Amino acid sequence: MSRIKEFNLPDLGEGLTEGEILAWLVKVGDDIELNQPIVEVETAKAAVEIPAKWAGRVQAIFHPEGATVEVGSPIIAIDTDPNAGPIEESTTGAPAAALPTPSAASLAAVEVAPEEGMVEPGLIGGVAPGGRTAVLVGYGPRNAPAKRRPRKGGVPAQAAAAPAAPVQAAPAPAPVAPVSPVPAVSGNGRATGPVLAKPPVRKLAKDLGVDLATLTGSGPLGSITREDVQRAASAPATAEPLTVAAPATAAASFGADREQRIPVKGVRKLTAENMSRSAFTAPHVTEFLTVDVTRAMKALDRLRERREWRDVRVSPLLLVAKSVLLAVKRHPMVNSTWAGDEIVVKEYVNLGIAAATERGLIVPNIKDAGRLSLRELADAMTGLVLTAKTGKTSPADMSGGTLTITNVGVFGVDTGTPILPPGESAILAFGAVREMPWVHKGKVKPRLVTTLGLSFDHRIIDGELGSKFLRDVGDFLADPEAALLAWT
């Protein structure tokens, strides 16, 4: 059995396919223990520390920090018996540094891929390095001239004929330099023939606002390369002969130095995929309700003053969560999932709380939140939010949600039209609590008011059910003490 063991990146939950290495917690040569954290990986859901499967000594690290690695790929090699002496070269799984050096003969038999844009003139099936015949896998040699469909608009005759031009017989084959095409030039110095450039180069030129017709290509057959485009984009503008034309407003163009390109990966990638899938799968309906929450805010103040609650983080979101849990008991269909030919109504509530983190939006959930007391619910919410802020939320804490609350009020927003997390049938947006003029007991008085927004899956929840559920949440927030007496 080999003493060198390669540790593969594991699937950290819900079929994840890749992860980004955020930080290595060990280095080559370190002695490690079983289950010692060795690497911090960001999956599509959270940053997770992965423990070692074996004790031993780190022999090799295969990927640097910042690399994205597919699940199942080796990330580290561990010598499980470092005191057994030096590692033999024949040991299976030895690091790349211990592998034998390839011979000169084997290197000579390796074909080196040509640089981007290089075109080798001659015949398909011509002589390749090492004296072999260059063919595609699964096809035999074909001693016929290479054919290429002519470009639309035609190509200069000398360019089209150059690759197939006969070469005078010689004692030994010698490389033939391709003849560069000579494009037709107009009076203003611009090429009037077709511009040779690959699609990625054309897209780059369009993004940078570069006119390909004004460039002289440095690539094969006079084709324009990425370097030509980038050089033209960064070069100062040169004066050109003025041409009298009708007045027109030139569109402003900006260089790439004034743009920022952010890779879509990790939490942001998962959020985009989930929101797109949900928005175009579940028919969304959103209803709004404005509520006077003055009594609820006073109840929170009295709760904070109680001795057993003085060390507990009490916020309006706590009462919103409690109101949702009580309303679900009165309307169980809201806590359900569309499963194609059936609706799954769940008797437990895994209450999701949307949290904004540095890596993006995540929605951890409190498992079976309906069974918790108000104090237990407060502690669970505090721990959930603090863990999310530090980026330590585990994939298990973000799996299996059944109903979600998003607190947009912390950003000073009145409400919104939230998109359902996949697999859930309802999500509640809780807006900012503001002091506003409100009719109270027949008089206009300043009151504390908030607006709720409920989005729901119209395949499961019709307008009546959604309205009753939202109305119950509002009734609790308007007078929590009376609602508790009436419903429990």
Name every residue whose Cβ is closer than 8 Å to that of residue 88 and which is 6 or more positions away in sequence: 94
Instruction: Find, among 210, 213, 252, the residue nearest to 233 by Cα.
Output: 210
Contact yes or no for 300/480 (Cβ under 8 A): no
- Of 63, 284, 331, 458, which residue is the catalytic one? 458
Q: Which two tokens stand for residue 423?
A: 């697999």
Q: Is 428 exposed, middle or buried (CB count within 10 Å of its CB: 0-12, 13-18, 19+)?
A: buried
Read off the DSSP letter of residue 178: P
- Could you confirm whether 458 is annotated as catalytic? yes
What is the sign of the dihedral through the CA atoms of 436, 438, 443 and 444? positive
Among 132, 124, 133, CA closest to 164: 124
- Per the DSSP assignment, residues forming a β-bridge with 380 are none
Q: How far apart are CA 86 and CA 67, in angstroms?
A: 30
Q: Is 333 in contact with 345 (CB distance < 8 Å)? A: yes
Cβ proximity of 395 and 13 under 8 Å: yes
* Contacting residues for 133 by C-beta, under 8 A, at least 6 apart: 125, 126, 127, 141
First to last CA, the chain: 65
* Beta-sheet pairing, 403-407 with 351-353: parallel
Alpha-carbon distance of 144 to 126, in angstroms, equals: 9
CB 164, CB 170: distance < 8 Å: no
Beta bridge partners of 98: none
Q: How far is CA 177 from the centre of its chain?
A: 46
**What is the phi/psi pair of residue 481, to 5°?**
-65, -45
Distance CA 247, CA 269 (A): 46
Q: What's the CA dihedral at 302, 304, 309, 312 to 10 degrees?
A: 150
Active-site residue list: 458
